[in-house]
Structure 1
Amino acid sequence: MKKVSLFLLGLALSFVVQGGSAFAETPLSQTVNELVGTPYKWGGTTKTGFDCSGFLKFVYNKFGVALTRTSKEQAQQGEWVSQDDLRPGDLVFFHTFGTGISHAGVYVGNGAFAHAADDGVKIDKLSMSYYAKRYVTARRVLSDDAYAQAMRDKGN
């Protein structure tokens, strides 16, 4: 029993230590987290309501990046990046209506992306069946300097 208790204590401590470093608050994560739950609004570009491209335009404006207005146009900005090489801050694009790009989000790490969906701004996994089947491409729009600013640990 003592060995099991020590094992469980060690396991719990390892999660606490890892949690502190794995979930550091960054300007990007803070910006996204503050917007989670914002309602969906067709054509919305403010905290009163966003559509997917308006959400991205708002987020990237915080980091000095001027995005175009529609997800189809946004998919032409920056540099193409492989899904296997995504880093937080990359744009991800989907075809949700017929063919062509019609939805977008921002990759936030660990296989997840933030986006303005019909039920508001939220975070989903790229591996979810719905999105995995509809993934089209990704673009990197943050310069190395802007990326460093977006990913700076707010605790330091």
Structure 2
Amino acid sequence: MRRYYAFTAIFILIIIFISVNVHANVTYIKEGNNPPKIAKKNKKQTHRKDKNKHSLTSPNLSTTFHKAKKGDTLLSLSKKYSLSVSELKEINNLRSTKIRIGQKVLLKRTGAKTYTVKRGDDIWKIAKRFNIDVDELKDINNLKTDQLKPGLRIFLEQKAELEKTKTHEAPLLQTHIEGEIGGVLESEQHSLEEKVTLIAKKLLNIPYRFGGNSLHGIDCSAFVKKVYSLIDINLPRSAREQFLEGNSVDKEELSVGDLVFFRTYASFPSHVGIYLGNNLFIHASSIDKKVTIDSLETPYYMKRFIGGKKIIEEKDDKEKLDEKG
């Protein structure tokens, strides 16, 4: 008898369960409804459910960082935010995949790429790790030594806002500068030396960029090469090679238009500018991040000055020899 009641109770429960589910999926036809309208309505409801479900499980990809919780790993974060483990390690300057609870893990890079110096690091190890030229790394950070203090944050690339002139401003700037330089070149009132300094000054405040050679950004040797090319003197690309050109000039004998050289981050000539007179020179400065004018009496440049070179005089001498020949 007990079996009979138990069986009956189970049967009733099954019937109730089926009825509830059928009722949940039944669409009652009201006046004015037709099969196409009903199908369209059901499709919208299904889409809404799927959308809500997706919003609950999808991560916010606009988030800058993730605060690590218990159980989080770089692997789990890489899957959650669709980033590779190597990308996360690079963005956060991590050597291992270990993260601690509460640690803020960056999910996207903001600003220029940087690295925080750790114990045992030096400029050579960092340059090798990130495949960057040592001299370039020193120049970007204005470093004077290979030894770095742990905790120091260094840039691995130039800051974006200093790398180039705004795209929409560049054509206007170039047209303006070219027009002014053209006026200097056409003038018969100035010597070649004076033209060099006047042209150089037209390029004041152009952004500095290591390896750059345009109005978007220019380095010291490219600046000198550019200025001299406008008076038809072709110089080598690097300061080291430019130092081999022309005739040597002592500091006391410098004249307008001469090149002045310095040892900054290397044992060889690594910086160059154009002498303006009165102990002033114009150059593309990695310190000021632009083409600027400085004094040879500034302690930094006084200590690193290694000599001057007269370029224009050599060209004039060659022309005289050609005329005699």
Would the TM-score normalized by the shorter structure come out above 0.5? yes
Aligned length: 123
What's the counterpart of residue 122 of structure 1?
292
Q: CA RMSD for the aligned pairs?
A: 1.8
* CA deviation profile, 1:35-61 (whole Å, cap 9, x unmatched): 110000111122221100000000001
What's the counterpart of residue 14 of structure 1?
none
**Residues 93-104 of structure 1 mapped to structure 2, 5 A cutoff:** 93-104=261-272
* CA deviation profile, 1:12-51 (whole Å, cap 9, x unmatched): xxxxxxxxxxxx9842332122111000011112222110
What's the counterpart of residue 304 of structure 2?
134
Which AA in structure 2 matches 1:138?
Answer: G
Which AA in structure 2 matches 1:74?
Answer: Q
What's the counterpart of residue 62 of structure 1?
230
Gaps of 5+ in 1: 1-23, 147-156
Q: Distance in 1 between matches of 2:315 and 2:248?
A: 18
Aligned to 1:139, the other structure's residue is in SS state: strand
Aligned to 1:41, the other structure's residue is in SS state: coil
Per the normalisation by structure 2, the TM-score is 0.36
* CA deviation profile, 1:42-98 (whole Å, cap 9, x unmatched): 111222211000000000011111100100000000111111100011000001114
Asked if the contact 1:45–1:57 (Cα under 8 Å) also holds between the matched residues in 2, the reply is no
Gaps of 5+ in 2: 1-188, 317-325
Asked if the contact 2:258–2:309 (Cα under 8 Å) also holds between the matched residues in 1, the reply is yes
Q: Which of these two proteins has the greater Rg computed from alpha carbons?
A: 2
What's the counterpart of residue 48 of structure 1?
216
Structure with bigger RCO (C-alpha 8 Å, 6+ apart): 1
Which of 103, 113, 118 in structure 1 is aligned with 2:281? 113
Aligned to 1:67, the other structure's residue is in SS state: coil
What's the counterpart of residue 90 of structure 1?
258
Query: Percent identity over the alignment?
Result: 36
Which AA in structure 2 matches 1:47?
Answer: L
Give 1 or 2: higher helix fraction.
2
Off by >2 Å, runs of 4+ in structure 1: 24-30, 143-146
Give 1 or 2: higher strand fraction.
1
